[in-house]
Structure 1
Amino acid sequence: MRSAFRIIAYVICALIAVQAAAIAWMDSGLFIWVSEGGVLDKSVLESEAAPPFAEVTGMMIHGMNGMMVIPVLALVLLVVGLLTRTRRGIVLGATVLGLTVLQVALGMFGHGLSLAAMLHGLNALLLFAAALVAARSRLEAPVERTPEARVGARV
């Protein structure tokens, strides 16, 4: 279970890197499209026509990865952390899941509130750091207390 915990945490880190790359790719493509005369307005967003620039795929990757894949993996990380029966595994798994829930909420609110979008970017760094700490942590085996140790502890 400890190896699974570590692997899942590293995968979350890799997916957060994909998130940053995908949104930067989309933003770059949007900038190029606008600088070449493209206009982004409500009609473009509501259009069912083909996307106006190829890099819009980065936005789709960012959305699907951030709304589905990473949250599921964060939940799995917590479950695996619980199965390790170590306090550190549980705390780290819960931290990653909590930051992931916050990240999704900030991403959703960021479409209407620019401050939330800014916090979404900042929280991504915190989430990456938490997942990296989880991946690099040593989950010690739970200490089994013998009946003799329990009696000695009461004295």
Structure 2
Amino acid sequence: MKTVYRVLAYLVALAVVIQAATIAFAVFGLLKWIDDGGVLDRAATRSGPDSFTGASGFVAHGTNGQMIVPILAVLLLVVSFFAKVQSGVVWAGAVLLTVVVEVVLGTFAHALPELGILHGILAIALFAIAVIAARQAEAAAPREAEPAGTGRPNR
């Protein structure tokens, strides 16, 4: 179960990297489209996900952030109760709490764009917390037995 815990924690961290990549793809694609003469208005946003290169990045960012990351965080918390990782439940709880706040910030940032700053900063914190959680599981992994008196691992 420690391995499952570690893998889930690293998957949360990877999902944060994917979040950063998809939103960067979306924004840079949008900016290029505008530079090339595209006009961003309500009609353009409703014309479908292929209106400009990178538009699918917005969809991927939303789907990953509102569905995949929360599912991974909940699974991590559930597994943490069985994995017997030192402070594993605490770290998994911190991951889930951070994910919940991220989703709330991402949702309300559409109405109050200044929240996007906190959303970005908290994403970095989520990445760090998930990596720390994974490292806790690595630290809890059983080590190879040392032969008596050598002070070196058994090979």
Fold match, TM over 0.5?
Answer: yes
Opposite residue 18 of structure 2, the aligned amino acid is: V
Contact 1:88 1:139 in 2 (8 A): no
1:87 Cα deviation (Å)? 5.2
Aligned twin of 1:122: 121
* Structure 1 stretch displaced more, 5-14 or 77-86: 77-86
Counterpart of 2:150? none
Q: Which has the higher helix share?
A: 1
Identity %: 39
Deviates most, 81-90 or 69-78 = 81-90
SS of match in other structure, 1:51: coil
Structure 1 counterpart of 2:7: 7
Cα–Cα, structure 1 residues 8 and 38, in superposed 2: closer, same or farther, change >3 Å? same
Match of 1:92 in 2: 91
Structure 1 CA distance for aligned equivalents of residues 66 and 35 of structure 2:
30
Kindly report the root-mean-square deviation, in angstroms, between the aligned alpha carbons of the 2 structures. Answer: 1.6
Partner of 1:145: none
Aligned to 2:153: none
Equivalenced residue count is 140
TM-score (ref. length: structure 1): 0.85
Structure 1 residues 54-108: Cα deviation after superposition (integer angstroms, max 9, x where no partner):
3101111101100000000000000111112455010000000000000000000
User: Hey, which bits of structure 1, 4+ residues long, moved more than 4 A?
Assistant: none
Partner of 1:152: none
Which structure 2 segments of 5+ residues have no match?
143-155
Matched letter for residue 81 of structure 2:
L
TM score, norm. by length of structure 2: 0.85
Query: Separation in 1 of the partners of 2:20 and 2:49?
Result: 24
Measure, in 1, the Cα distance between the counterparts of 2:140 and 2:60. Answer: 33
Measured at CA, do residues 19 and 83 of structure 1 come closer, stay the same or move farther in structure 2, by a change above 3 Å? same
Matches within 5 A, 1:69-108: 69-86=68-85, 88-108=87-107
Task: Could you tell me which runs of 5 or more consecutive residues in structure 1 were left unpaired when the two chains were aligned.
Answer: 142-155
- Aligned partner of residue 54 in structure 2, secondary structure: helix
Distance in 2 (alpha carbons) for counterparts of 1:140 and 1:98:
25
